[in-house]
Structure formats: structure tokens, C-alpha cells
């Protein structure tokens, strides 16, 4: 029998970190950012790397394959029979993804998105923490349980390739694999965040998301601004006016009632409890003089988990400033990303956004909306007593501190789907996206000791689930 702590630490240092170097080197952009992903081959390379590593693990009762349905990104599927007295009639579903966000600018001089660099505890590069480590950590947790003689129930691991595009392929796979997955009583997802690296953090809610591209056209071609400005309305000004229908630009508050919900009392109390010890704004790279929207730590947590927001994440029709002539541009396109409260009806929110933006276009301009996507958020059911005890015990044993909870500002569309498919299941949503780790941005890194300890915690939770 092996010692869980020693085994997990050894495999992470000697095998997973080198494998993650190879994974980070692959520009496996999600399909939204690489429509020709099949031709580029990067997603296939990434899932093949994970498949080869996972298939070589010493795990009894495991079958593993890459499943690829027509027109869908590949899905890595592992099925592991119960061990050491666990049950095959009760499934633990382990989830992660291998597709990545775009490169982003602003990386430090010696870093880059596809250039893995290990500096101390930090492994820099795109996708290591979000969420390439999940397949390695998930299977190692099962391997460590078996090697230490600890019980675990049937395990199914799904590592998808479309999460960063909103998981459009996953519902089809879930339906196709329904019988193989079986009855799920516990879901473990390693794609979330943490407020420090000193304990196991569990995510109790995730925001939904609605995305759309707003396009405003006023001319069929650009014209001299000296000749036309003042007569031809600016497409940018019209876009601004349309956004004012949605958002109060002075405060950032969204104006559509369909985007707001009542915050549950337990989530509000949770924000105040966590805010008493953590101020999340302190970990953000504000430019000199910039202040957060609120100085109240609890309100900061609620602002990033239960209040709807709008971000303009991209634009077309605007030339770089160094190439911008005196031309009144024919059109402006903005990519709008709305983060929605966990219990908000995402489709109703998108319908309200669409109706408000398209009504009565200023000056009769051509206003179009494209690439609309709406994905639900998720709010956890209360932890069962056995699970809360198991989480605290695992965190105390591995980190020396009990677990803490937070509502996460990001979106994992799969969780909303699973919540509807398995309403009685318990969910452990956790992850390593902590202070300065900057998932999706420049200088993204994986905190290796945190990931190692989190893997060890998952081993103990698997055992607690099987012996509850």
C-alpha cells in the first residue's frame, strides 16, 4: 500500500508537470476561436496527449477512449470500476476540459501562451490551470485511492473540447453516453477558482452567460470625415446609444429586469462570511489610481457572482490607431458578453437584450445581432452532512485549514446541464484559479503545489463518498 500524500506528490513532480509542459505548447484554441480546428489539428493533438498519458496509468478496471461524434469536438471518456469495496451502482462523474482561450497580449517578455515556463511554484502558459490539469489530477486521485487501498465507487471521467465555446457539444455526448454514465450521485469539477492557495475552496454558484455581436452600419463604404461628419451619424455613437438602453454607463448597473434575480439568503450570508477574511479586489492588477466599483468586501463578492454585468470583449470596424485615417467608418461591431446571476433564465435574458437593442434603430441605421449564445448559471444544492464533513476533513488533513466557500463569477455551462440531469447529486466544484493566476489573460499560471494538494483532497473525498 502506498501513502496517498507521497504518491500524489511524486507523480505530480515527476510525470504531470512534464506532461503539462507538452500540453501548454499546443495552441488548442476552442472552436469559437479556431473554426477550422479540425484542419489545424490542435484539439486532436491535445486530446491525444491526454489520452496517451491517462491510458498508461496503473488503474484497475479502467477503460478509456476518445469519442468523436460527427461535427463535434472529441471527448475523452474514462470508465473505472469500483474498487476496494465501492459500488458500481453509484457513479462519481469527474469533469474537465482541454480546449483553450486565445493568446491575449501583454505576456511578460520571457513568457508566452504556448511557451511553458516553470518559475518556482508557478507553471506559466495558456491552459495549464484552465483546465488542462484536470484530466491528470482526476485520474491520479483515483489511482492514489486504489494504490492506498481506499474505496471508491464507479467513476466516469469526461474531458471535453468545447467548454471555452460554451460547451455546445456536451449535451449531445451526454445523451449518447447516458447509459454508460449511469446514476450519478457525486460530480467533481476541477475548473473553478480559489481565493488563496492555503485550503480547498468549493464553489457554490456560477454565473450564466449571454453573448451576442452587435453590428451597426450607416454607410456602404467609408467616406472622408471632413465631408460627412455631422451629417452622417457615427456608427460608434449609435452603438453607444444602444448600449445605454442596456447599461447605466455611470454605475455599470444593467437596466433590464430580466437580468436580475433575488439573491438567496444563504449566498448573501456566505459572501459576508468570506468577505470578512478576503478582499478580492486586492488581487486584481488595477492600473494606478483605478478603484473597484465598491470597497465593501462582501459586495465585491456579490458583484462578481450574483449581479449581472456587461463587458465589451471585442470590436470590428475600428482600425489600429496608427492606421486610422480621417475616415467616417461605415460600421462598428461589438462583441457583448453578459454575465448573468446563477438562477437567471439565460434564454429570457437574451430575448430581452435582443428586443431592447433592435427596437427603433436610431436614424434608421442597420442594426443586427449575430452569434447569439445563452447558457444557464448554476446554484449548488446544500452539501449533505457527509460531504461537508469530508471536505473539511480532507482540507484539514492536506492543507491544515478547513474548506471555504465562494460564488464564482465565471461560467461552466456543463454544471447547469448536470444540475438538471442529476438534481439529487452532490456537487464539488473546485479549482486552482487563485490570486494572480489570470486565467484567460496574459501570464496565466498553474500553482503546482495547490494542484497537487487538491488532487490529494479529491482522493479522500472519493473514499468518503464510497463509505458514507
Q: What is the pLDDT along the chain (468 residues), one digit of tens a residue?
A: 899 999 999 999 999 999 999 999 999 999 999 999 999 999 999 999 999 999 999 999 999 999 999 999 999 999 999 999 999 999 999 999 999 999 999 999 999 999 999 999 999 999 999 999 999 999 999 999 999 999 999 999 999 999 999 899 999 999 999 999 999 999 999 999 999 999 999 999 999 999 999 999 999 999 999 999 999 999 999 999 999 999 999 999 999 999 999 999 999 999 999 999 999 999 899 999 999 999 999 999 999 999 999 999 999 999 999 999 999 999 999 999 999 999 999 999 999 999 999 999 999 999 999 999 998 999 998 999 999 999 999 999 999 999 999 999 988 877 888 888 898 999 999 999 999 999 999 999 999 999 999 999 999 999 999 999
- Do 194 and 405 form a contact (C-beta atoms < 8 A)? no
Q: 352: domain range?
A: 208-270+304-375
Q: In this structure, are 175 and 47 located in the same domain?
A: yes
For residue 212, give Cα distances in angstroms to 215, 315, 452.
Answer: 10, 12, 38
- pLDDT in the model for residue 162: 96
Given 375, 410, 431, the domain boundary residue is 375
Q: In this structure, are 108 and 36 located in the same domain?
A: yes
Domain count, the chain: 2
| Burial of 359 (C-beta count, 10 Å sphere; 0-12/13-18/19+) | exposed
Q: In this structure, are 317 and 193 located in the same domain?
A: no
Q: In this structure, are 25 and 170 located in the same domain?
A: yes
- pLDDT in the model for residue 322: 94
Q: Say which CATH number the domain at 112 has.
A: 3.40.630.10
- pLDDT in the model for residue 384: 96
Give the Cα separation of 207 and 104 in Å (integer).
23
Whether residue 432 is contained in a domain is answered as yes
Q: In this structure, are 121 and 212 located in the same domain?
A: no
Whether residue 283 is contained in a domain is answered as no
Q: In this structure, are 109 and 128 located in the same domain?
A: yes
Whether residue 18 is contained in a domain is answered as yes
H-run or E-run covering 372:
strand 366-375
Give the Cα separation of 193 and 209 in Å (integer).
17
Give the Cα separation of 427 and 184 in Å (integer).
10
Amino acid at each position: 500500500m502506498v501513502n496517498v500524500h507521497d504518491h500524489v506528490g511524486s507523480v505530480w513532480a515527476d510525470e504531470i508537470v512534464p506532461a503539462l509542459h507538452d500540453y501548454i505548447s499546443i495552441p488548442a484554441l476552442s472552436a469559437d476561436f479556431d473554426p477550422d480546428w479540425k484542419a489545424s489539428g490542435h484539439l486532436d493533438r491535445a486530446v491525444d496527449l491526454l489520452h496517451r498519458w491517462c491510458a498508461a496509468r496503473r488503474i484497475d478496471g479502467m477503460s478509456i477512449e476518445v469519442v468523436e461524434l460527427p461535427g463535434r469536438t472529441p471527448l475523452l471518456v474514462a470508465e473505472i470500476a469500483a474498487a476496494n469495496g465501492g459500488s458500481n451502482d453509484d457513479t462519481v462523474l469527474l469533469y474537465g476540459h482541454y480546449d483553450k482561450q486565445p493568446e491575449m497580449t501583454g505576456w511578460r517578455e520571457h513568457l508566452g501562451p504556448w511557451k511553458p515556463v516553470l518559475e518556482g511554484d508557478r507553471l506559466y502558459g495558456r491552459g495549464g490551470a484552465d483546465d488542462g490539469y484536470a484530466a491528470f489530477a482526476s485520474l491520479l486521485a483515483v489511482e492514489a485511492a486504489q494504490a492506498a487501498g481506499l474505496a471508491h465507487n464507479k467513476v466516469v471521467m469526461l474531458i471535453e473540447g468545447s467548454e471555452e465555446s460554451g460547451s455546445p457539444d456536451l449535451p449531445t455526448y451526454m445523451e449518447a453516453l447516458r447509459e454508460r454514465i449511469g446514476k450519478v450521485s457525486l460530480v467533481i469539477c476541477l475548473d473553478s477558482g480559489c481565493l488563496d492557495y492555503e485550503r480547498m475552496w468549493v464553489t457554490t454558484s456560477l454565473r450564466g452567460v449571454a453573448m451576442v455581436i452587435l453590428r451597426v452600419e450607416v454607410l456602404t463604404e467609408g467616406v472622408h470625415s471632413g465631408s460627412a461628419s455631422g451629417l452622417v451619424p457615427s456608427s460608434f455613437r449609435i452603438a453607444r446609444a444602444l448600449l445605454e438602453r442596456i447599461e447605466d454607463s455611470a454605475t455599470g448597473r444593467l437596466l433590464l429586469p430580466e437580468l436580475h434575480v433575488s439573491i438567496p439568503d444563504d449566498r448573501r450570508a456566505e459572501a459576508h462570511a468570506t468577505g470578512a477574511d478576503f478582499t478580492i479586489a486586492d488581487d486584481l492588477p488595477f492600473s494606478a489610481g483605478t478603484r473597484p466599483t465598491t470597497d465593501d468586501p462582501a459586495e465585491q463578492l456579490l458583484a462578481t457572482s450574483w449581479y449581472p454585468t456587461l463587458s465589451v470583449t471585442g470590436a470590428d470596424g475600428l482600425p489600429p490607431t496608427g492606421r486610422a485615417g480621417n475616415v467616417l467608418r461605415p460600421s462598428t461591431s461589438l462583441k457583448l458578453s453578459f454575465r448573468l446571476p446563477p438562477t437567471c433564465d439565460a434564454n429570457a435574458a437574451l430575448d430581452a437584450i435582443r428586443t431592447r437593442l433592435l427596437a427603433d434603430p436610431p436614424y434608421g441605421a442597420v442594426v443586427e445581432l449575430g452569434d447569439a449564445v445563452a447558457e444557464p448559471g448554476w446554484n449548488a444544492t446544500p452539501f449533505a452532512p457527509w460531504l461537508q464533513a469530508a471536505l473539511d476533513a480532507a482540507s484539514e488533513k492536506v492543507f491544515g485549514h478547513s474548506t471555504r466557500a465562494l460564488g464564482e463569477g465565471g461560467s461552466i455551462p456543463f454544471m447547469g446541464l448536470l444540475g438538471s440531469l442529476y438534481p439529487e447529486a452532490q456537487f464539488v466544484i473546485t479549482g486552482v484559479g487563485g490570486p494572480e493566476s489570470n486565467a484567460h489573460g496574459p501570464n496565466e499560471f498553474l500553482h503546482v503545489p495547490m494542484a497537487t494538494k487538491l488532487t490529494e483532497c479529491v482522493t479522500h473525498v472519493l473514499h468518503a463518498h464510497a463509505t458514507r
